[in-house]
A and B are shown apart, each in its own frame.
Chain A
Amino acid sequence: MNLHIDDFKNDDVATLKLSGEIDAYTAPQLKEKLLGYVKEYDEVQVDLEKVNYMDSTGLGVFISALKTSKENESKFKLINLQENVYRLFNITGLNEVIDIENTVQGGM
């Protein structure tokens, strides 16, 4: 019931690898960290391969990151989503707005 964040940086690109669950408890720390990266780097990707649970609090964080990236003219994308996590982007229509790559487990 926690969220662990690992970061990998090279030049202009930062990758955040998340593992655990994104909910009302873990979303605030993710938001703070992610927005910092989006302001600092030209390209930020968030690897969700090890995120096995996410709800609307996570959607809120990623919308916020997308907005910040537009303001800073940087790139923001999500990679390696599990099927149940991708489903929420699909239901809400956010898959049309946020750059999403490489969904895992059946690759929708």
Chain B
Amino acid sequence: MKEAFDFLEMKLPAKSEFVGVLRLTISGVANRMGFSYEEIEDLKVAVSEAITNAVKHAYYDEETGEVTIGFGLYEDRLEVMVADHGGSFNLKEVKEDTGPYDEGVPVTNMREGGFGLFLIDALMDKVEINNNHGVIVLMTKFLYENEVGQNDDQISTSQ
């Protein structure tokens, strides 16, 4: 049997000024689903990193493309898909250039970028990247039941 879910899709110009618009949207969607404040903050950073990557890597200086974002709202999880249909970037290179710092690295050798994918991975429960036609990042965050008592004073709108 197919799992029931709601699906939202939006297209944004591949320009950095729209990254904030996506954050407002994910905030609204995640709040609607009952994610906690901290989880919503994590989601905002993760989707911003994904769209920032798409804006930066796929289009370079050509500000003509667009990025498609899909939200799958399931009973127990939120899936977010960020896809650019532009040129693709070298995934292997991107993966190698990512990760936390080692304390031993001298300041002058520290890289200024490359935290995007690392943060997505750290903040989401599951991340898949498809690099065949443009780049598609599929991220999942599960909805865990809040601790009893935590939301006693709130009226849930999701029931």
Q: How many residues of B contact A (CB 8 A)?
A: 32
Determine the distance from Cα of A70 to Cα of B110 in the docked complex, in whole angstroms. 12
- Interface membership of chain B positions 87-123, coded 1 if the CB is closer than 8 angstroms to chain A and 0 otherwise: 0000000000000111100011011110110110011
Q: Name the contact of B110 in the complex, choosing from A1, A55, A67, A84 (C-beta under 8 A).
A: A67
Shortest C-beta distance, A23 to chain B (Å), equals: 5
Q: Is A64 positioned at the interface, with any CB of B under 8 Å from its CB?
A: yes
Chain B residues whose CB sits within 8 angstroms of the CB of A64 once the complex forms: 112
Q: Name the contact of B19 in the complex, choosing from A24, A59, A88, A91 (C-beta under 8 A).
A: A24
Q: Name the contact of A92 in the complex, choosing from B23, B56, B100 (C-beta under 8 A).
A: B100
- Number of A-B residue pairs having CB atoms within 8 Å of each other in the complex: 80
User: Given A59-B115, A66-B107, does the pair A23, B101 have CB atoms closer than 8 Å?
Assistant: no
A84 touches B41 (CB 8 A): yes
User: Given A60-B115, A93-B100, does the pair A23, B122 have CB atoms closer than 8 Å?
Assistant: no
Name A's B-contacting residues (CB within 8 A).
1, 21, 23-25, 53, 55-57, 59-61, 63-64, 66-67, 70-71, 84, 88, 91-94, 96-97
Closest 8 CB pairs of A and B: A1-B20, A56-B115, A24-B16, A93-B101, A60-B112, A25-B16, A93-B100, A24-B52
